[in-house]
Every structure is written in C-alpha cells, then in structure tokens.
Amino acid sequence: MYKKLAYPLGLAAVTLITACASHTETAKQPSNFVEAYNGISSDELKQHTKVLASDEFEGRLPTTAGEEKTLDYLVSNFKALGYLPGNGDSYLQPVELMEITADPDMHLSMGSHTFDYQKDMVASTKREKTQVNLKDSDIVFVGYGVNAPEYGWNDYEGLDVKGKTVVILVNDPGFENPESGKFQGKTMTYYGRWTYKYEEASRQGAEAAIIVHETEPASYGWSVVANSWSGPQYSLVTDNGGADRVAVEGWVSLDAAKKVFAEAGLDFAAEKQHAMQGPYHKALNLKASVTVNSSLKKSTSHNVIATLPGSVHPDEHVIFTAHWDHLGSDPNKKGDHIYNGAHDNATGTAASIVMAKAFAALDQRPARSTTFLMVTAEEQGLLGSQYYAEHPVIPLDKTVANLNMDAMNVLGATKDVSVIGMGKSELEKYLAKATARQGRELVQEHRPEAGYYYRSDHFSFAKKGVPALYAEGGDEPANEEMAKYRKRANVIVTGCYHQVCDEYRENWDFSGVREDTQMFFEVGYDLVTSDDWPKWNPSSEFQRNK
C-alpha cells in the first residue's frame, strides 16, 4: 500500500545543498525568513483552530450566522496583519448559491422494494423545482457509468437512457482490478468521482442516477453519505435552473442494491465482475419511483480574499487556499448537534492566518503578491473555489500557483510528507526543498485510490490549468512518542470524519500542523521571491490554458 518514490539524483543533490544552507542565511533568502519561519507556532495554530471550531461558530455552514462569524474573524485577522482587500475594495467575493433542501419524508421504490431515506437511500435534485417526480422509470445498470474515449471505455455505448434510472458503481474500473492495466489501477481518476457519475448521466440524458455505495471504493462509510446528503444541498446558481441535470441524484446502500439485483434475477457481485472487465450495461426490467419535494432558497455566501501586494510584480500572485466552511448543525440530532469541523477545516483556515502573519513579518516584501483565498462551500462540492476559478479576481495567467490546505495533520510530526496526486507538476521541486530543510522525505499519498486530488479546492485551479499543489504530513511518525500519540489520535480523527465529534481537543499535538504550515510557507516564499513559472509535468492530465 505504502509506496515510496525516490526522487531523481539531480534533484536530491539540489535539496542536499539547500538543506545544508538552511541554518545560515543564503543569498536567496536575504531577509528574516528563518525568523518568520520559526515564528510559526503551535500555540497560535491551536488558538485559531479552537475559536473557529467552537460551538459559537455553529459548524460554519454557508449563509448562516456561522458564516457571518467566520467572515468577521477572517477579515479582521487579515486586516490586522496588513493584508489588503483582494476583490476591489472588499475582502469578500459573493458566491450565489442555490440552496435546495429535500423533504426527508422520502422513499425510493425499486421493483417491489421500498427504501427509506438515510437508512438505505438518499436523493436530491439539482433542478430548481419544488417537486420532481420519478415514476415507473426503467432501471438500467450501467457499470461504472464511464464514458472515457482516451481509455476506450463507454458504458453507455449503444444505450438510450432517456427517461431511465441508471444504477452506477462507485470509483473506476481500475480500482478493484489494479493489475489489469485499466485506467490508472488503484489510483482514482476523475471518472471514479461521484460528481462525475452524475455529470455523465446528465449528459447522456438519464432521468435519475443512483450510485451504489461500497465502503472501500468510495473510501468512506454509509454514514458519511447519509450525513452529507441530508439538510440543505447547495449548487452554484445557473442560468438554466439545473435543467441539464438528471432529475434525481442519489445513492443506495450496498444491501439495498443487492436486493434489487436479486429481484431482477441477478447477482450483484457477478454483475460487478462483468462491469470491471469492460464497458457494460444491463437492463434490470424493474421500475424505480421516488418523489423529491424540496424547498428552494437563493442565498449568497462569500469567499474571503486578502492580499499582501508584491514589491516588484504585484500583478503576479501565489494563491493559498483553505475552505472555511463545514457542515453546520443538525437541530434534529439529540445531544451534540454541531458539526464543529475542527480538523476539517478549522486547521487549514488557522494555518492560513498564521502563515499570513509569517509573510507579513518579513522585513523585505517579496517581489510577487501573496494572496489568501478562504473559500466557501467546499463541503457542498468545491463550490466556492469553482466559482472563484470561473470568476477569477486575479487573472489565471497571472496566478503562479495554488497551494491548498485542507484538514491539516493533527496526528503529530512525521518523517515524511505525502503528496496528493504525486508527479503532476514542478511545484514538487519546491516542496522537496522545503521538506529537505525539515529532514523529511516526499512520498506518494497513502491511498491514491481515494482520489483526494479531486476532492479539495486546488482541483478547481487544476481544472483551469493553474499548477496546484496539495500535500500534508505522511504516515511515518517522527519518533516513538509520536507513534504512540498517533495511534490514539488516529482513532478519533478517522472516526470523526464529517461527524459531530470532529471537535477541537486540547490534547491534540500540533507539531505536525506546525511543520506542514512551515513547509507551505517556504514553498510560497520561494515562489513569491522568484520569477519562475512552474509547469505541469507533461504526463499530467492538466496543462496551462493558452
């Protein structure tokens, strides 16, 4: 599982030299860089995390009072550090959201089975309608629901899905068949993402798209689906009111799917095997029905943009991103009902503030501008960053790079740094230099099959061709003590992903958050003090738009 990749010799030599030079000021770093670097403190990182994850911030749901508190906190901090408004004379970029809340009194029938909301199914609509009605729609299993010409794979080939309900496997055909050479083996491609499945089903003209949940290929359990699909769902406001989307988007549990396949006289596991071998679809000769009643509300959330202008090329920016939002609170939940999102992503937001302070503390202003973009609605599908990338305040061709922090490492200091989507761009050279200073090595992410490169805000920049880096402390504890701590803390961090128990803990060790923040500070520093334009590697699926 755990694959270490050695860097080419040339680069190793370079990192060695810079590592040696790191204790003295080099020609490249004439300012008080090291002082600012060392000034990044665990205490401050903890303090900001604690505030942002407090109950007072109500789980930082977009468009709620929790948003207002969060925006105030961010703006006042950036302002106090001397950062200028990034959007004209405002620190805020309004993001128009369509909030669609499905009535939980909802049942999905497939064949003779009826499945209950959250227990075995979830569904919603991106059509801006108070009611969508799926009635006796033919069910077709479409394997992975992939149409990928470059892999010679089209599950929809020769199939007319108009008015039909497509049932789709999660992940892509390479995942459970890594030796087959299909797609990128265990490394998830964008075709494996659930967002893609609905996009493709919509392009094909299907009426409904239902994904079968399986814990391993999804990389998270059913409770994550049930929680994140209940309550208000957001999308960006569109001109056509979501008319180009399928009417119903949903998930069913694996158990539910097995029952439906059995009624169709099919074995789910055997059908999945077929779907793995090659493009595949099969009519189940059963009907699906569901009524989704929704309340609609247009509302406005905000990205926060704060800039420290460069001294020579203020028009050229390095943009740090971290999403400030989380899941809010669930008034129907007994006991603790606030999704505080301490790890996800009060930590990345806190790191941004602390890093902004380090940049502001430099006694020589870097040549390029340093910009912090704190985005909204990441949890709802990277909407804030998508909106920004589609309406960039700083031209994308003046955006040198994007560096993203999402759910920082609260499991303690590490010997390694995990690069999410390793091998994509030259930004990794900068990262290698920064981690060499810390005596850490770069490794490939632990589970490339989970598709993390497509699951946070840097992806919105990558899609638009801006080189984007996402990295964090790896899995090798720095020492024995860290190893013990990591074991204990990991149970909580993993178990509390998108749960109410993701809350700030005084006994969290922030040495890992600190070293990662320092690492990003150095990567950012080297970029804002350089005139280099790092490129995507030729093998990457992304390239700078001309």
Catalog residues that contact Zn ion under the rule CB under 5 A: 344, 379
Number of Cβ atoms within 10 Å of the Cβ of 392? 18
- Pick 276 or 407: Cβ nearer Zn ion: 407
Q: Compute the C-alpha angle 60/72/358, nearest 5°.
A: 100
465: Cα separation from own chain's centroid:
17
Sequence-distant (≥ 6) Cβ neighbours of residue 436 within 8 angstroms: 15, 16, 18, 19, 22
Distance CA 44, CA 116 (A): 45
Distances (CA, A) of 42 to 351, 415, 485, 512, 516: 10, 18, 16, 9, 11
What letter would DSSP give residue 518?
Answer: H
The nearest distance, CB 498 to Zn ion, in angstroms, is 6
Is residue 27 classed exposed, middle or buried when 0-12, 13-18 and 19+ CB atoms within 10 A define those classes?
exposed
- Pick 127 or 343: Cβ nearer Zn ion: 343
The nearest distance, CB 327 to Zn ion, in angstroms, is 8
The nearest distance, CB 62 to Zn ion, in angstroms, is 13
- Pick 252 or 382: Cβ nearer Zn ion: 382
- Residue 464, phi-psi category: left (phi > 0), alpha (psi -120 to 50), beta (remainder): alpha
Structure tokens at 169: 């496997």
The nearest distance, CB 120 to Zn ion, in angstroms, is 23
- Pick 379 or 526: Cβ nearer Zn ion: 379
The nearest distance, CB 150 to Zn ion, in angstroms, is 30
Q: Following CA atoms 522, 538, 147, 210 in sequence, which dihedral angle do they give, to the nearest 10 degrees?
A: -10
End-to-end distance of the chain based on CA atoms, in angstroms? Answer: 38
- Pick 110 or 350: Cβ nearer Zn ion: 350
- Residue 285, phi-psi category: left (phi > 0), alpha (psi -120 to 50), beta (remainder): left
The nearest distance, CB 82 to Zn ion, in angstroms, is 31
- Pick 345 or 402: Cβ nearer Zn ion: 345
Distance CA 332, CA 337 (A): 8
- Pick 271 or 445: Cβ nearer Zn ion: 445
Tell me if 161 sits within 8 A of 181, measured CB to CB: no
Sequence-distant (≥ 6) Cβ neighbours of residue 265 within 8 angstroms: none
Number of Cβ atoms within 10 Å of the Cβ of 76? 11
What letter would DSSP give residue 192?
Answer: G
The nearest distance, CB 493 to Zn ion, in angstroms, is 12
The nearest distance, CB 528 to Zn ion, in angstroms, is 28
The nearest distance, CB 507 to Zn ion, in angstroms, is 23
Q: Which amino acid is at 326?
A: H
Q: Compute the C-alpha angle 330/336/339, nearest 5°.
A: 55
- Pick 379 or 515: Cβ nearer Zn ion: 379
- Pick 151 or 220: Cβ nearer Zn ion: 220
- Pick 347 or 438: Cβ nearer Zn ion: 347
The nearest distance, CB 228 to Zn ion, in angstroms, is 8
Number of Cβ atoms within 10 Å of the Cβ of 308? 25
The nearest distance, CB 413 to Zn ion, in angstroms, is 24
- 3-state secondary structure string across 361-388: CCCCCCCEEEEEEEECCCCCCCHHHHHH
- Pick 362 or 407: Cβ nearer Zn ion: 407
Beta bridge partners, 414, equal 477
Distance CA 362, CA 358 (A): 7
The nearest distance, CB 326 to Zn ion, in angstroms, is 7
What letter would DSSP give residue 127?
Answer: S
- Pick 120 or 379: Cβ nearer Zn ion: 379
Distance CA 186, CA 214 (A): 15
Distance CA 401, CA 466 (A): 6
The nearest distance, CB 81 to Zn ion, in angstroms, is 26
The nearest distance, CB 379 to Zn ion, in angstroms, is 5
- Pick 375 or 394: Cβ nearer Zn ion: 375
- 3-state secondary structure string across 401-427: EEEECCCCCCECCECEEEECCCCCECH
The residue number whose beta carbon is nearest to Zn ion equals 344
What angle do helix axes 511-528 and 347-360 make, rounded to 10 degrees? 50
- Pick 344 or 516: Cβ nearer Zn ion: 344
